[in-house]
Amino acid sequence: MDDTPQSHPPSSSQECHAPTTTRRHVLEISTAALGGAGACALAVPFLNSLRGTQTAIQQAEEESALLDVDVSDLTPGAQKNVIWRHWPVSIQRRTPQMQEALKSAELLRQLRDPYSKARQQPLDAANLYRSLNPEYGVFITVCTHLGCIPTMHDIPGLPSSGGFFCPCHGSQFDGAGRVLQNMPAPYNLPVPPLFFLTSTKLRLGMSKADPHFDINTIQQI
């Protein structure tokens, strides 16, 4: 019997072992590479769609900040209410007498800020009418005291300019949204930025004369 250790040929499984390991590494590397490439390939459209979504949201926000209002149905002395950026907005069409009353010395003496010194309006509304066009008064009807909604009401005993009365604590405002002295409300009613698209159609949300006016930066709303 020959005790000499036999040199056995490698089994078929041994033959395949080393090459299999190598292939697996190659496969792992390839898979990782493909996975990375796939992730990158997926990430690009995802980022693009995210950017698209952000742009769409931004566009929607900008569009919602603009509101066109047709005032052709307003007769002199009448008003209409709209909602702009979740705030109630009153649009009055003034009679010539109402426009005159807004300049009356008797009225101006009674007002806390008759010349609109406080930044409660865009520059083109910092005048005696607090409006771009004296025929139309446009105000955010949120009381500058504690935020109640004033209703249209003339100020008794003063020239009739239109006006607002706050039912919560009695603040009174004239037809230009200017608060009387000694009232709980500290500031005039805010005027939103706007301009006229036509003589009877206005656009809320942008002032051409004061394009950087931001309603969120006013003294008080």
CB of 183 to ligand FES, least distance (A): 7
Determine, following the binding rule CB under 6 A, whether residue 186 of this chain makes contact with ligand FES. no
Closest contact distance (angstroms) between CB of 88 and ligand FES is 13
Helix (H, G, I), strand (E, B) or coil at 147: coil
Please, what sign has the CA dihedral across residues 209, 118, 159, 91?
positive
Give whichever of 116 and 171 is closer to ligand FES, judged by the CB atom. Answer: 171
* Chain residues 125-144 in contact with ligand FES, contact rule CB under 6 A: 143
In DSSP terms, which residues pair with 174 in a beta bridge?
163
What is the footprint of ligand FES within residues 11-40 (CB under 6 A)?
none
How far apart CA 60 and CA 56 sit, in angstroms, is 6
148 binding ligand FES? (CB under 6 A): yes
Contact between 185 and ligand FES (CB under 6 A)?
yes
The order of strands in the sheet holding 194-198 is 67-70, 201-204, 194-198
Asked if residue 189 lies in contact with residue 173, where contact means CB atoms within 8 angstroms, the answer is yes
**Given candidates 161, 171, 188, 207, which one binds ligand FES under the rule CB under 6 A?**
171
Q: Answer yes or no: are the C-beta atoms of 142 and 149 closer than 8 Å.
A: yes
Q: How far is the CB of 187 from ligand FES (least distance, A)?
A: 11
| Contact footprint for ligand FES (CB under 6 A) | 143, 145-148, 166, 168-171, 184-185
